[in-house]
A and B are shown apart, each in its own frame.
Chain A
Amino acid sequence: MKDHLGRPLVAVTGIGIVTPLAWGREASWAALRAGRSGITRIRRFPVDKLRTTIAGTVELPEEAAGGEIASSPVRVERMAAAAVEEALAQAAIGPEGTFPGPLMVGMPPVEYEWPQRFDLARRANGDGSYRAATEAASGRQDLYETFLFGGVGERLAARFGTRGAPIALTTACATGASAIQMAVEAIQRGESEAAIALGADGSVQPEAVIRFALLSALTARNEHPEKASRPFEKTRDGFVMSEGAAALVLESLEHATRRGATVLGLVSGCGERADSFHRTRSNPDGHAIIGAMCNAIADAGIAPGDIGYVNAHGTGTPENDKMETLGMRAVFGDAPPPISSNKSMIGHTLSAAGAIEAAVSLLTIRDQVLPPTINHAEPDPAITLDVVPNVARPVSGLRHVLSNSFGFGGQNVCLVVSAAP
């Protein structure tokens, strides 16, 4: 019940997933196993004049019925709530509306978007100034509570009855993994017997798409959206923005065992390392990502050779995949384990990615099937890795998976998820 450092082992007893492929864990996982792409043309808003016109999107039911397009915090909260609900249903922990631990919310920063700005300017009779908008927004408690950074966490904490102050956090593309790490640490330090960790992102709106495009981070292979995300492939030229959420119910193994819960796996190691090289690029020597990978493996009390598969960060940018390859060879030497990128199918779900990929890693162990890296047409000679090209691969005896997350701003987090003991 304790790990190699005398800390409580941390079990996963519930998993919830929302992706562009499906609202739900098993449907999303089945699609990933089948190598299906969730990337489509953006239909949410006009894409004229945009360089990139594709994304992975998660539509809310009322949007599908022709209703108004939700803002990012609303979408994040809805997807997060669905993922937490699914995870709680699987964990069957506590009476509804109460949960015996804290909530860690990995989410993007949120702010007023153009529909809100235009609405305020119209209310100010066409005056676009902030001064006029501020007057027009006076008394709009709805705007305030929607766009406060603490708003999403507060509402989720109230709804699910988690304990203490919810913690919302961002570490860019490592956010979801950081949220899991925060929950694991809370259990390890004995602050709580259980915790909910979630990552969610719903940023596909015009300004965010344009901003990522201006950084030259996005691919513009708009003609065949399902083929646009090409991690580790020779012709890769950027990532595809996407949306989704995943939630894990975590408990000390002792707590889970005591209440007779089904243990789906363990989060056995967390490692992090920040980079000081550049705002969007890793140090060419790779020490920060190598450090994060090694720290996670050491934290789990295992050796690199015990890792049977790596769930890649694998964004499909030329830079990331090259650096991740360098990290893999540095950590695992001449015989690295297979590695594949869920982002080839669902795109880069940003703040959700680390959580979704940790959740998928647990399902990978459960079903002993490695999900593929699709769109692998032309191997890149510089990528000397087995990327599980195009089709899922059954395996046996897989016990430990390393899940990598590397973020803008040099924030790198890796997790080791393991089979139930």
Chain B
Amino acid sequence: MTRQDVVITGIGLVSSLGEGPDAHWDILSKPGTAPVVDEAAFAPYPVHPLPALNLDAQIPKKGDQRQMEPWQRLGTYAAGLAIDQASARGLVADMHLIVSAGGGERDIAVDEAVAAQFCTTPPAEAGPALNEKLATDLRPTLFLAQLSNLLAGNISIVHGVTGSSRTFMGEEAAAADAVRIAAARLAEGRGGIALVGGAYASQRWDLVLLYGAGGALWRGPFAPVSARPGTGGFVGGALGAFLVLETADHARARGAVPLARLAGVASDATHVRAGGASAAAAKALHARLGAPSGAGLGVLSGMTGVAEARAEEDAFLATLGGAAIRRTGTLLGHGVEASFPANVALGALALSRGGFYPAMDPADAGDGPVERILVTGFGQWRGEALALLERAA
């Protein structure tokens, strides 16, 4: 099978810093940008909040908006931005779709009321009472808003993307594999164009509860990812990130201008990561991609701030010589299933603008013109992934 080149022709990006490629380039190419942080609403856990969005611009039907909660709206919105930038509205019928998804929103008020009301009820009575309460209080439509695969479903409904639809689950690793599989399918000739990405709605107690239990969330006043002591932790960042991928031939034939070439994506999952295993896995992925080191390489790191993963990634980054390393999580926060596509999007943006970003985190080092960009994705718990981007030919 002949492998075809895969290029990125559209990015859809929403973060606490704003939306769209221009806004992100303007803000992130200036030195000294400060993150947008809310330290109060989910204290002691800071979050990077969602910006105000003109939802009507991407989700024109109010009925569609009502069928979703913020997470699905954010993802559907970002997906539309990517399709628009690629000028691919007319290609959605045969566009393939892979979404990396977490859990959908729960009805927080119902959960809190039910938990308080029945937690001490004797089991024999609690069951029937719970049944009656849930049957009354749960909204049928919210079930759909809650299903992980319904972000993809909504992208199909709102934007008409119907080539195929798959939803990967599994936090950061799911995001990297979504990009990897979407690109591999195009490269081997399964379709000409694909949409891939994810979203993370940071202002959700149900996610704080899940990630907080594992000590994966940073507690206390905001600090950059490199400067979170102890076991560290991530600061959730509102993030919607989608990429339109195409074969180079497909893009050329329709006159689309690629932002960058996606030269490769590789992933692994070490089952015990500490003590150098995770760093060694990443080094092997780096070799598998034939990725460069040293000057001319820019690195967009998806570092979460979780200490164990950070130590492993630092060990890996230390092997890259004089590469210019940027820890985007310090400014964008960590968007779990959205961070990997967001960093690929930022990489494509930089290559298309012929520049790179100034330091984002106190530990960021290296500078100078960048020819190629490596995106890293060390999961908060498991998973190692890299993507290599090059200037489009």
On A, residues with C-beta under 8 Å from B are 6-7, 45-51, 107, 109-112, 114, 117-122, 126-131, 133-134, 137-141, 143-145, 147-150, 153-154, 157-158, 164-172, 178, 182, 185, 188-191, 206-207, 210-215, 272-280, 288, 407-411
Determine if A131 and B171 form an interchain contact, defined as CB atoms under 8 angstroms apart.
no
Asked if A276 meets B160 with Cβ closer than 8 Å, knowing A168-B170, A215-B140, the reply is: yes
A18 to chain B, nearest CB (A): 21
Given A165-B267, A206-B134, A272-B164, 4 new contacts (CB under 8 A)? A140-B213, A167-B177, A172-B147, A213-B135
How distant is the Cα of A278 from the Cα of B206 in the complex, in angstroms? 27
Within 8 A of A (CB), among B106-147: 106, 108, 111-120, 124, 126-128, 130-132, 134-135, 138-140, 143-144, 147
Q: Counting chain A CB atoms within 10 Å of each CB, which of B112, B114, B205, B209 scores highest?
A: B209
Among B22-30, B151-159, B315-323, the one that faces the other chain is B151-159
Asked if A150 meets B149 with Cβ closer than 8 Å, knowing A118-B118, A143-B213, the reply is: no
B30 to chain A, nearest CB (A): 36
Asked if A46 meets B103 with Cβ closer than 8 Å, knowing A7-B1, A158-B271, A170-B167, the reply is: no
For B210, give the chain A residue with the smallest CB separation.
A147
Asked if A114 meets B381 with Cβ closer than 8 Å, knowing A138-B215, A168-B168, A169-B166, the reply is: no
Determine if B119 and A128 form an interchain contact, defined as CB atoms under 8 angstroms apart.
yes
Residue-wise, chain B 201-236 has the 8 Å CB interface mask toward A (1 for contact) of 000011011111111100000000000000000000
Partner of B120, one of A120, A126, A206: A126
11 cross-chain CB contacts under 8 A: A107-B169, A118-B115, A128-B119, A130-B108, A138-B212, A139-B215, A140-B214, A157-B269, A165-B268, A172-B153, A410-B156
How distant is the Cα of A148 from the Cα of B140 in the complex, in angstroms? 25
Determine if A409 and B177 form an interchain contact, defined as CB atoms under 8 angstroms apart.
no
Residue-wise, chain B 365-388 has the 8 Å CB interface mask toward A (1 for contact) of 000000000000001011101000
Residue B309 at the A interface, CB < 8 A?
no
Asked if A409 meets B209 with Cβ closer than 8 Å, knowing A122-B119, A141-B214, A172-B149, the reply is: no
Contacts of A154 in B (CB 8 A): 269, 271, 381-382
Residue B83 at the A interface, CB < 8 A?
no
For A51, give the chain B residue with the smallest CB separation.
B135
Contacts of A165 in B (CB 8 A): 170, 173, 176-177, 267-269, 383, 385
For B271, give the chain A residue with the smallest CB separation.
A158
Determine if A112 and B210 form an interchain contact, defined as CB atoms under 8 angstroms apart.
yes
A192 to chain B, nearest CB (A): 12
Determine if B135 and A138 form an interchain contact, defined as CB atoms under 8 angstroms apart.
no
Partner of A411, one of B106, B165, B267, B385: B165
How distant is the Cα of A46 from the Cα of B214 in the complex, in angstroms? 31
How distant is the Cα of A167 from the Cα of B113 in the complex, in angstroms? 36
Determine if B212 and A131 form an interchain contact, defined as CB atoms under 8 angstroms apart.
no
A8 to chain B, nearest CB (A): 10
For B123, give the chain A residue with the smallest CB separation.
A46
B301 to chain A, nearest CB (A): 19
Interface extent on B, as a size class?
35 or more
Residue B97 at the A interface, CB < 8 A?
yes
How distant is the Cα of A164 from the Cα of B184 in the complex, in angstroms? 15
Determine if B171 and A49 form an interchain contact, defined as CB atoms under 8 angstroms apart.
no
Asked if A112 meets B268 with Cβ closer than 8 Å, knowing A189-B1, A280-B144, the reply is: no
Contacts of A114 in B (CB 8 A): 114, 130
Determine if B167 and A169 form an interchain contact, defined as CB atoms under 8 angstroms apart.
yes
Determine if B128 and A145 form an interchain contact, defined as CB atoms under 8 angstroms apart.
no
How distant is the Cα of A190 from the Cα of B2 in the complex, in angstroms? 12
Residue B163 at the A interface, CB < 8 A?
yes
Determine if A133 and B135 form an interchain contact, defined as CB atoms under 8 angstroms apart.
no
A64 to chain B, nearest CB (A): 19
B137 to chain A, nearest CB (A): 10
Contacts of A134 in B (CB 8 A): 45, 205, 208-209, 212-213
Contacts of B212 in A (CB 8 A): 134, 137-138
Determine if A210 and B134 form an interchain contact, defined as CB atoms under 8 angstroms apart.
yes
Partner of A137, one of B1, B120, B213, B381: B213
Partner of B171, one of A45, A150, A157, A207: A150
Residue B89 at the A interface, CB < 8 A?
no
Contacts of A408 in B (CB 8 A): 144, 147, 149-150, 153
Contacts of A275 in B (CB 8 A): 156, 162
A130 to chain B, nearest CB (A): 4
Determine if B138 and A210 form an interchain contact, defined as CB atoms under 8 angstroms apart.
yes
Determine if B103 and A279 form an interchain contact, defined as CB atoms under 8 angstroms apart.
no
Determine if A279 and B153 form an interchain contact, defined as CB atoms under 8 angstroms apart.
yes
A284 to chain B, nearest CB (A): 15
A404 to chain B, nearest CB (A): 16
How distant is the Cα of A207 from the Cα of B184 in the complex, in angstroms? 38
Determine if A46 and B128 form an interchain contact, defined as CB atoms under 8 angstroms apart.
yes
Determine if A133 and B209 form an interchain contact, defined as CB atoms under 8 angstroms apart.
yes
Determine if B184 and A191 form an interchain contact, defined as CB atoms under 8 angstroms apart.
yes
Residue B247 at the A interface, CB < 8 A?
no
Determine if A164 and B131 form an interchain contact, defined as CB atoms under 8 angstroms apart.
no
Determine if A117 and B115 form an interchain contact, defined as CB atoms under 8 angstroms apart.
yes
How distant is the Cα of A210 from the Cα of B114 in the complex, in angstroms? 15
Residue B67 at the A interface, CB < 8 A?
yes
Residue B193 at the A interface, CB < 8 A?
no
For B126, give the chain A residue with the smallest CB separation.
A118
B99 to chain A, nearest CB (A): 10
Q: Which 9 A-B pairs have the closest CB atoms?
A: A144-B214, A128-B116, A409-B153, A46-B127, A128-B115, A130-B205, A150-B170, A48-B128, A121-B119
How distant is the Cα of A144 from the Cα of B267 in the complex, in angstroms? 22
Asked if A112 meets B153 with Cβ closer than 8 Å, knowing A150-B383, A214-B138, the reply is: no
A135 to chain B, nearest CB (A): 8
Asked if A276 meets B157 with Cβ closer than 8 Å, knowing A128-B115, A214-B135, the reply is: yes
Residue B161 at the A interface, CB < 8 A?
yes
How distant is the Cα of A28 from the Cα of B134 in the complex, in angstroms? 34
Residue B102 at the A interface, CB < 8 A?
yes
Asked if A170 meets B169 with Cβ closer than 8 Å, knowing A134-B205, A274-B164, the reply is: yes
Contacts of B168 in A (CB 8 A): 167-169
Asked if A50 meets B156 with Cβ closer than 8 Å, knowing A137-B209, A150-B383, the reply is: no
Residue B250 at the A interface, CB < 8 A?
no
For A271, give the chain B residue with the smallest CB separation.
B164
Determine if B157 and A145 form an interchain contact, defined as CB atoms under 8 angstroms apart.
no
How distant is the Cα of A170 from the Cα of B188 in the complex, in angstroms? 23
Asked if A170 meets B149 with Cβ closer than 8 Å, knowing A133-B209, A275-B156, A410-B165, the reply is: yes
Asked if A118 meets B169 with Cβ closer than 8 Å, knowing A51-B135, A185-B185, the reply is: no
